[in-house]
Chains A and B, each alone.
Chain A
Amino acid sequence: MRGTVRLFASLREAAGRSKIEWELVEGATVEMLVAHLRTTLPGLDEQAGNTWIAVNRRYASLETALRDGDEVALFPPVSGG
């Protein structure tokens, strides 16, 4: 199954890109995706501290199971206003 990852703010800068395509085996979780990203994009690893996760524009967690076509977003704690 495949989908996209979107990165924002400090994570986007650390990775050097804002959008990545992912491809994982059925049953994969966000945690597996993040682990995979950290090996391919070393910059992300240094920003690992406090990463918030959204799947299809709703807050999710590392345990969230992925489905084909999911849009995963990774970003630091929000600071709008």
Chain B
Amino acid sequence: MSDKLFEITTTPISVDEVSRRVSSPAVGAVVNFAGIVRGTNAGHQVHYLEYEAYPEMAEPMLAQIAEQVKARWPVEEVAIVHRVGRLEIGEISIVIAVASGHRQGAFEAGRYAIDRVKEIVPIWKKEYFEGGEVWIEGPEKPPPA
């Protein structure tokens, strides 16, 4: 088990465990977001996904997103853990835990964090389906240099 707040991991993720990483006496609310591998995409059945990351760049970017979150909302701590490798349908691909003194802002902060992860963090997924496989591509534009 790890106590890192920002982590790319090859092992299954537990929501409870990530949530504990952000707990402290100052915390009165933790909002958890879990991304789950969906069994369908655009009307077809998905067999499984393979995630790949550039961990040396992705982990610092997760920390950077958390800094932005803390600057905008009254948040005590943020943890973001993303799994890579082969993930079966129903498995957790990402957990974001946002801890704050009170509930205000924590939901919005979590929403912002997952949106930014999808937009800028160097992680990719390949979808395997009946008769084929395809890399999923996200936003069209890269973040400014």
* Nearest-CB residue, chain B, relative to A30: B145
Q: Are B139 and A77 in contact (CB under 8 A)?
A: yes
Q: Are B125 and A8 in contact (CB under 8 A)?
A: no
The range of chain A's interface size is 20 to 34
CB distance from A19 to the nearest CB of B (A): 12
Identify which of A50, A73, A77 contacts B54 (C-beta below 8 A): A73
Identify which of A9, A50, A73 contacts B124 (C-beta below 8 A): A9
Given contact pairs A80-B125, A81-B93, A8 touches B140 in the complex (Cβ within 8 A): no
A-B contact count (CB 8 A): 88
CB distance from B13 to the nearest CB of A (A): 13
Write 20 A-B pairs (CB below 8 A) sorted by A numbering: A8-B54, A8-B124, A12-B52, A53-B142, A58-B57, A59-B142, A59-B143, A64-B145, A73-B57, A75-B54, A78-B123, A78-B124, A80-B93, A80-B94, A80-B122, A80-B124, A80-B125, A80-B138, A81-B82, A81-B93
The 7 A-B pairs with the shortest beta carbon distances in the complex, nearest first, are A80-B123, A9-B124, A57-B57, A79-B138, A52-B142, A79-B136, A81-B118
Q: Residues of A at under 8 Å CB distance from B?
A: 6, 8-10, 12, 50, 52-54, 57-61, 64, 73, 75-81
